[in-house]
Structure 1
Amino acid sequence: MHHTENRGHMGNSGNTGTYDQDAVLRARVLLLGSGRRTLTEEVGAYRVLAEVSPRAYLPKLAEALVSWGYADELRDRPEVRTALHAEAAAAARRIGGGEPNRAEVLRRTLGAYERGLFTLGRRAEGRAVCEELAEAGAPGRLAVVLAEEGRHAEAAELCGRAARTVEPWSRFWSMAEWSAELDAAGRREEAVEVFAELVAGTRRSAATGDMPLGSLATELLHLSGLLDAAGRGAAARAARREALVVLDGLVRTGEAKTWGSTLAPWLVLLQMSGRQAEPAATPGAPMPSFGTYHVHGWSPDVREAYLASLPGLERETEALRAEGRLPELLAAHRRLIRRAALRWESRTWQVEEPLRPLFDEGVALARRLPGDRRALPEALTDRAVFLVATRHHAEARADLAEAVDLLDVS
């Protein structure tokens, strides 16, 4: 069923400049009636009236088409949904440039359309729509798509421009993404500076009770990893020790007030810390934009492929365990943890049961690995950050204290 073929066919009767008055009347009666109408009927009416009164009805047609595309009956019909969203985008483009809601409607319809294209694996078309979105004032998805295809320098420039204009509530997401893309582009010092700026803001907010102390500890530990990678060992040690002080306070008194879940920011930082272990992204073999939250950021095709690799990694780790190949096993296990965390993160009431054993095994494997001075501190830090996110502060403090001792004496 192709929903776009009939757009406008009932409205304009050839080249005469007249309209099917019966169709127009039926459409008006339907919309003015008090009875319940289906989305199919509503869209049909708006298709007719958008030809007669485009200024009044093109925005309504675009919005109704987007809603229809998300209807439950089309959940398993992505081709039909995408066709409807293509028609919605076409309607939004026809809205006059002087209309006050044009930009908002255009961004919403283009966003729905590009997600459908990526779901169908039509990346080139999806990227083109994201470029159009960027021109319409919404560059976020284009930055993600460029990152997924390995174009990190371009993505970093877009992220940097966006980060300077965001609302305070979205500061973590924008700064983390910017830092991640700078790091992926090989601009490590700039990545450190951006993330350090984020930490400084969180430190100020935590001091006034406007941010959880656990978030500060988590960000400090990620910053320490960036500093280590940039060869700034003294600054990395200072960041770890500050995180340890923060955890000391949490063990003694806990958070000053109750906060919502911090699993989503934790998951973003977890994915960022594992980027180097993943294959480099290319246009032909895209990878996730690791600094972006997967639920509202990653392209559907990339997210599906990344999660689909989990069973293969589970088999790989089992084979490596059976062969006793500890270095390869530990590396594969860390990649497995990151994918498993994506699968379970949205189920906050279940996340500890499936994930805690994986972090415990990571530490146990690292303890068995001789001659690698970084393996055990990294595994302990990974588990400590998970324990902070799940509010087990005393255990997190113990893990971090051991990691700090190992790193500072080595």
Structure 2
Amino acid sequence: MLAVARAQAEAAGEPLVKGVREWAAGLSEAGRYAEAADAMDHLVAALRPRGPGSGTLAWTLLDHIAALHDAGRPADALAAFEDLVTMEAAEAAADRGPLACHLHALTGYVRMLDAHGLGERAALARQEAFALLTELADTGERKEWSGYQRSFWAELLTLAAAYAEPSEPDAPSPPPGAAPLRWSPRAKWRSVEGRHALRARVDALAPRAADDPDRYLAQLVCLHRSFTLRSAVCGEKQVYRFVDELRPLYDEGVDLARRLARHDPVEGPRALAASLIDRSSLYAAARDFGPALADFRQALTHLEEPV
């Protein structure tokens, strides 16, 4: 089918081949990450001259970033993420896109920079996000937008989950960067099974962390965060109740990170800041920007960054 689409595109003098995105997702689910990244390289190159469009390039860049990350091309993934942030900033400045999407892109970029140990760049991006969130808390969006911002947030969370848990090539898994709506049935099943297994690991580790925090507490904080992110990605479609369903998990994660901060004054504050920014992002996805700003400000305080 892809060969047919390529032949049609060539005959029409059209660089954009239909089906590449779906092909890349299938390759990713099968653990063929390098091929998936090559396919997305082609797709982004064909789309980029057309500009942002109606968000097409932004959603495609999310898939591209994920494919590059899984293929072990971190520098390319970071460059693609920077392109996404720059594009969302330009769209918001021209009133062609929501400020919230720019905020979510910045928050995702911070997570990737931190995951790769790029602390100085992450701190600068956090300051941009803080300024943007301050504006949203003070005045809200500059105009009304449809509700796709939350789906954008959820797809960015799939990337955060990917940093926390390396991809496994032995079985089909949901492609990072893609929301559950675009997962195959087998990948959906694997995701559900994975969440159940992760919840069991969290529950089994909790009493050990209480008895021996030196050995287990940091691991529990990390596992709980992974479970929370997975649950948020899959719970985002519960339109009216998603915050009520997810907030207890985020609160629990913040409480665990506070315990770690008291126990480990070196690594604990960074883990607490990450948990607070995660919860801030949840509030922002629900357009509850006051609590989102409060959590973000508290995170910066724990990182000893300007507020």
CA change 1:130–1:349 in 2 (3 A) is farther
Q: CA RMSD in A?
A: 2.3
Deviations 1:214-262 (A, max 9, x none): 1111111111222233443222211110110001111111111222222
* Unaligned 5+ runs, structure 1: 1-128
The answer to whether the 8 A contact 1:189-1:230 is kept is: no
Deviations 1:300-344 (A, max 9, x none): 101111113333333332222233352232222122212322332
The reply to whether residue 309 of structure 1 matches residue 184 of structure 2 is no
The answer to whether the 8 A contact 1:144-1:289 is kept is: yes
1:304-383 matches, cutoff 5 A: 304-324=189-209, 326-369=217-260, 371-383=267-279
SS in 2 for 1:368: helix
Deviations 1:328-387 (A, max 9, x none): 322221222123223321111110111011111111110001743421111111111111
Q: Please name the residue that 1:79 is paired with.
A: none
Higher helix proportion, which one? 2
Distance in 2 between the 1:360 and 1:192 partners?
Answer: 30
Deviations 1:269-312 (A, max 9, x none): 11101213325321x3232211122202x221011111133333
The answer to whether the 8 A contact 2:277-2:295 is kept is: yes
Distance in 2 between the 1:351 and 1:134 partners?
Answer: 41
SS in 2 for 1:258: coil
Letter in 2 for 1:391: R
1:172-187 matches, cutoff 5 A: 172-187=58-73
The answer to whether the 8 A contact 2:31-2:171 is kept is: no
Distance in 2 between the 1:187 and 1:156 partners?
Answer: 9
SS in 2 for 1:286: coil
The answer to whether the 8 A contact 2:179-2:233 is kept is: no
CA change 1:147–1:213 in 2 (3 A) is same
CA change 1:208–1:327 in 2 (3 A) is same
Q: Structure 2-normalised TM-score?
A: 0.83
Distance in 2 between the 1:395 and 1:161 partners?
Answer: 41
Given the alignment, which residue of 82, 93, 99 partners 1:213?
99
Letter in 2 for 1:357: P
Q: Please name the residue that 2:157 is paired with.
A: 270
The reply to whether residue 395 of structure 1 matches residue 296 of structure 2 is no
The answer to whether the 8 A contact 1:352-1:390 is kept is: yes
Distance in 2 between the 1:135 and 1:367 partners?
Answer: 57
Structure 1 stretch 348-357 or stretch 287-296: which is displaced more?
287-296
The answer to whether the 8 A contact 2:198-2:227 is kept is: yes
CA change 1:306–1:138 in 2 (3 A) is same
Aligned-pair distance for 1:134? 6.9
Distance in 2 between the 1:144 and 1:135 partners?
Answer: 21
Letter in 2 for 1:305: R
Given the alignment, which residue of 113, 125, 133 partners 1:247?
133
Aligned-pair distance for 1:266? 0.8
1:101-180 matches, cutoff 5 A: 137-166=18-47, 167-180=53-66
Structure with higher RCO (Cα < 8 A, 6+ apart): 2
SS in 2 for 1:309: helix
CA change 1:315–1:245 in 2 (3 A) is same
Deviations 1:48-74 (A, max 9, x none): xxxxxxxxxxxxxxxxxxxxxxxxxxx
CA change 1:350–1:401 in 2 (3 A) is same
The answer to whether the 8 A contact 1:134-1:140 is kept is: no
* Unaligned 5+ runs, structure 2: 9-17, 48-52, 211-216, 261-265
The answer to whether the 8 A contact 1:131-1:142 is kept is: no
The answer to whether the 8 A contact 1:133-1:139 is kept is: no
Distance in 2 between the 1:377 and 1:401 partners?
Answer: 9
Aligned-pair distance for 1:164? 3.1
